[in-house]
Amino acid sequence: MQVKSYQDLIAWQKAISLVTEVYTITAQFPGHEVYGLTSQLRRASVSIPSNIAEGHGRATKGEYLQFLGHARGSLCEVQTQIFIARRLGYISPELEHNVIATTDEVGRILNGLVGSIQGKKLKPLAPIVPSP
């Protein structure tokens, strides 16, 4: 399939699904977190597909890779914030596991995209194991 738009990228599509999942989860967080963890987690998740799209719209391969790197960084932020939410008791271990599985999938796809642009295989992000 030929990519005509960033919307054709599986990485972007999966990242959009992650955003939806994060918004659904954070809607259940305590009200006092609205300007804290809720806001931070939502911003980090939105940053992932946004950086994929912005990179796709850039003029050079180097710029594209730079924005995909930002997307990877935001993905790690989301994972960290999900761990924090679990430790604070805002989400269940099962929900933590499900979201982390989604982030792992997005990470693998993002690595594949970066590798295809670079023309080489990347070292994958290590799968994340939720803490007990």
Q: What percent of the chain has pLDDT over 90?
A: 80
pLDDT at position 119: 83
Distance CA 65, CA 33 (A): 33
| Radius of gyration from C-alpha coordinates of the chain | 15
Amino acid at site 60: T
Judge contact between 65 and 114, C-beta under 8 A: yes
Judge contact between 130 and 87, C-beta under 8 A: no
pLDDT at position 121: 58
Spatial CA neighbour of 6 closest among 127, 110, 80 = 110
Query: Which tens digits make up the pLDDT trace of 36-46?
Result: 999 999 999 99
Judge contact between 15 and 44, C-beta under 8 A: no
Mean pLDDT of 118-128: 62
Q: Is this structure's pTM higher than 0.85?
A: yes
Domains of the chain, by residue range, sit at 6-118
- Report the CATH superfamily, name and number, of domain 6-118: 23S rRNA-intervening sequence (1.20.1440.60)
How far is the CA of 92 from the CAs of 23, 25, 109, in angstroms?
Answer: 16, 11, 26
- How many degrees, rounded to 5, is the angle at CA 80 between CA 88 and CA 11? 130
Query: Which tens digits make up the pLDDT trace of 14-73?
Result: 999 999 999 999 999 999 999 999 999 999 999 999 999 999 999 899 999 999 999 999
Judge contact between 20 and 29, C-beta under 8 A: no
